[in-house]
Amino acid sequence: CANSDRIHASNPCSEYMFLNDSACNLASINLMRCRKADGGFDVQAFEHVCRTIITAQEILVGFSSYPTPAIEQNSFDYRPLGLGYANLGSLLMSMGYAYDSNEGRNIAAAITSVMSGVAYEQSAQIAERIGPFMHFAENREPMLRVIRKHQEAAGRLNETAVDPELFREAQAAWERALALGERVGFRNAQISVLAPTGTISFMMDCATTGIEPDIALVKYKWLVGGGMLKIVNDTVEAALHKLGYSEAEIREILEFIDKNDTIEGAPRLKTEHLSVFDCAFKPAKGTRSIHYRGHIKMMAAVQPFISGAISKTVNMPETATVEEIANVYQEAWKLGLKAVAIYRDGCKRAQPLTLSKEEPKKKETAPVAVPATIPTATGEAYAPRRRRLTDERRAITHKFQIGAHEGYLTVGLYDDGQPGEIFITMSKQGSVIRGLMDAFATSISIGLQYGVPLKVLVNKFAHMRFEPSGFTQNPNIRLAKSVVDYIFRWLALKFMSGDDRRAIGINAEGPTTSLTSEADPASLVSVLSPAPAVEDVRQTKLLDGSALVGKLTSSFDNQSDAPACETCGSIMVRNAACYKCLNCGATSGCS
């Protein structure tokens, strides 16, 4: 959709690259479910799954929830989808082909071509019934140009090791999709991506995630609560059957793997078959692994048949050099990849999967003294600088009352209207609460002057609960859980935008700005720049679509105002005058 806008960025995982303020409904297919009993690939079953899933994804566009009105609108207008697959590494291994081989890359490219081609064809068939996406007409030429590029790439496929039916369909699917798209358009502006499938691959019982090879034939997962889980790749047996080994030979090889955590050195295993079982990382008792170029070449083989990009980790050994890492990015760029990421083994203190059942040893490190300055990327020392207020500064003083406790809050302002210091006056001089409030105000003032964002402080201190607490005279803060809670909710109402306030559960029912005198009306803009009340109301309607009365005048926040459940520890929610736990069902009283 180049006529609408260019691509500015990707999502964090990097597989989705499309217009700003848009969302993508993802789905992944377990390729091993399309494997025939004889080890071949069931093309007809795969096509049927692709058509079914694309239809379901298209339906879900209208039933999904979106974080902002702009994303919701663009999702309805462009309807981008992200069909992908998982378990490619297991499929190639079960078919007897190495992941880092021309044959493996040819099969992966053909499968990807069929997936996207059939999906675009199905999108065009849906458009024939109910019309293309809203902005197809203005993007007709750019989109058809991309479809033609997919078709041209399919024409350059290498048929070595590829099933004839799969090879024919990898090209024919794009011919059908282009012919129908030129006539009726497409229902979806984007159709396919390759997501990492980190969690859903386990739900689908996949041995490998996304387009990844297996990390190792045997790996260990250390559990949070203690203990260890041994994970063994169950595709090895199928691969050995496909390669022609007898039952007795397979049993010996599997026993060797279970005992040694590697297939290298297994009895009766032919040397020419070792590459079939190569994985991303070198096993603890082995020497072989997939070279980082093998990862990049696999991505380059399937990228021409993906609408978006590929979220995949290029695994590198612990011995990888800076030059080798730089080469990964350079080669990825030369091969036309849209995105690439690397992971060097051992670069994290703790990683989810390891190749040894020995518990990682903690390194003994000497205490490190905290420097007074912070080194920057250029080697220069950077010392935090304090932004002091001028000797004469504008300020605002606010009187408040929490229950029977009265106090005054004075906020000193910078020239740009941002708060730089606070003073809190409560009770008599020399009292405990007066001394605590003075010390607290001083620490907050120093934090503000050293650049701590106000919204960070508000997020930390708002909704704290301790005595004194009670009802207030402020119509925007009906009930204060503590003096600290009141102060920071008031600061949020005065100095933070409506979106930032709503993000941490602070709502207001009208204009909250009254800083300047009538003699200096122009200074209102320089001191504060809050969103108008009408704008707050409009945004609230767009965000939650509910009546404003319950949101803007509410004294309580169902999440931030609630205590932890005494039974299970989950955060409770308000239920009438009490609280209830949505996790275990316990209540705090009369509910």
Distance CA 8, CA 28 (A): 25
> What are the distances in angstroms from CA 455 to CA 410, 478, 559?
18, 21, 18
Identify whether the C-beta of residue 276 lies closer than 8 Å to the C-beta of residue 96: yes
Of residues 13, 24, 34, 581, which has the active-site annotation? 13
- Continuous segment of H or E residues that includes residue 116: helix 102-130
Which of 168, 195, 155, 176 has its CA nearest to residue 27? 195
Angle at 547 between CA 546 and CA 550, to 5 degrees: 110
Of residues 1, 3, 15, 188, which has the active-site annotation? 15
Q: Around Cβ 121, how many Cβ atoms within 10 Å? A: 25
Distance CA 317, CA 382 (A): 34
Of residues 1, 11, 24, 87, which has the active-site annotation? 11
Residue 15: active-site member: yes
244 contacts: CB under 8 Å, gap ≥ 6 = none
Distance CA 465, CA 456 (A): 18
Distance CA 343, CA 321 (A): 12
Reduced to 3 states (helix: H, G, I; strand: E, B; else coil), residue 329 is helix
Residue 338 phi, psi dihedral angles, 5° rounding? -85, -25
One-letter amino acid at 581 equals C
Q: Around Cβ 576, how many Cβ atoms within 10 Å? A: 9
Beta pairing, strands 25-30 & 313-316? unpaired
Distance CA 462, CA 496 (A): 13
The token pair at 108 is 């992966």
One-letter amino acid at 232 equals V
Alpha-helix residue ranges (DSSP H) falling in 303-371? 322-334
The token pair at 486 is 């009141």
Distance CA 259, CA 520 (A): 83
Residue 13: active-site member: yes
Identify whether the C-beta of residue 3 lies closer than 8 Å to the C-beta of residue 139: yes
- Continuous segment of H or E residues that includes residue 493: helix 483-495
Residue 583: active-site member: no
Displacement of CA 123 from its chain's centroid (Å): 27
Residue whose token pair is 């009141």: 486
Active centre residues (catalytic): 11, 13, 15
